[in-house]
Amino acid sequence: MADLMEKIVSLCKRRGFVYPNSEIYGGIQGFYDFGPLGVELKNNIKREWWEEMVTKRDDVYGIDGAIVTHPKVWEASGHVEGFTDPLVDCKKCKKRFRADHLVEDLKIEDTGTADEEFIKRLDKNLKGVKCPECGGELGKAKRFNLMVDVGLGVIEGQKRKTYLRGEACQNIYLNYQNVLDSFSPKIPFGIAQIGKAFRNEITPRNFLYRQREFEQWDLQWFVDPKEMEKWYEYWKKERMKWYLSLANQKKKVRLRKHGKDELAHYAKVAYDIEYQTPFGWKEWEGIHWRGDWDLSRHGKYSGKDFTYTDPDAKREFLPWIVETSGGVDRTFLFLLLDAYHEEKDRVVLKLLPKIAPYKVAVFPLLANKPKLVKKAKEIFEDLKTCFLVAWDDRGNIGKRYYAQDEIGTPWCVTVDFQTLEDNTVTIRDRDTTKQKRVKVDKLVDWFQNKLSQ
| Residue 225: per-residue pLDDT | 96
In a domain, 347, yes or no: no
| Residue 114: per-residue pLDDT | 41
| Residue 155: per-residue pLDDT | 76
The CATH code of the domain that includes 227 is: 3.30.930.10
In a domain, 349, yes or no: no
Mean pLDDT (10-residue bins), the chain, 453 residues: 85 97 94 97 98 97 96 86 74 78 56 57 78 84 80 81 91 96 96 95 86 96 96 98 97 94 83 95 96 94 95 91 97 98 94 97 96 97 96 93 97 97 97 96 96 90
Concatenated DSSP letters of 319-376: PEEEEEEEEHHHHHHHHHHHHEEEETTEEEE---TTTSS-SEEEEES-TT-HHHHHHH
| Residue 111: per-residue pLDDT | 44
Residues sharing a CB contact under 8 Å with residue 265, sequence separation 6 or more, in sequence order:
78, 82, 112, 293
Note whether 325 and 197 are within 8 A (CB).
no
In a domain, 344, yes or no: no
Same domain, 184 and 262: yes
Phi and psi angles of residue 201, each rounded to the nearest 5 degrees, phi first: -55, 135
Same domain, 90 and 228: no
Write b or e for each residue in 230-253: b if 16 or more Cβ atoms lie within 10 A of its Cβ, otherwise e.
ebbeebbeebbebbeebbeeeeeb
Q: What count of other Cβ atoms lies within 10 Å of the Cβ of residue 121? A: 18
Concatenated DSSP letters of 132-197: TTT--BB---EEEE--EEEEESSSTT-PEEEEE-S-TTHHHHHTHHHHHHHH-PPSSEEEEEEEEE
Burial class from Cβ neighbours inside 10 Å (0-12, 13-18, 19+) for residue 273 reads: buried
SS3 percent helix, strand, coil of the chain, rounded to 5, is: 35, 30, 35
| Residue 177: per-residue pLDDT | 96
In a domain, 346, yes or no: no
How many structural domains comprise the chain?
3
In a domain, 77, yes or no: no
Note whether 398 and 382 are within 8 A (CB).
no
The CATH code of the domain that includes 88 is: 3.30.40.230
In a domain, 268, yes or no: yes
Q: pLDDT digit string (tens) for 6-36?
A: 999 999 999 999 999 999 999 999 999 999 9
In a domain, 232, yes or no: yes
Q: Rounded CA gap, 392 and 400, in Å? A: 7
Amino acid occupying residue 290:
R
- End of a domain among 309, 338, 367? 338
| Residue 99: per-residue pLDDT | 74
In a domain, 353, yes or no: no
Note whether 359 and 389 are within 8 A (CB).
yes
| Residue 411: per-residue pLDDT | 98
Range of the domain at 406: 358-452
Same domain, 167 and 228: yes
The CATH code of the domain that includes 365 is: 3.40.50.800
Same domain, 414 and 304: no
Same domain, 183 and 323: yes
Same domain, 317 and 372: no
Q: pLDDT digit string (tens) for 308-324?
A: 999 888 899 999 999 99
Same domain, 271 and 320: yes
Amino acid occupying residue 377:
K
Note whether 405 and 361 are within 8 A (CB).
no
Same domain, 173 and 261: yes
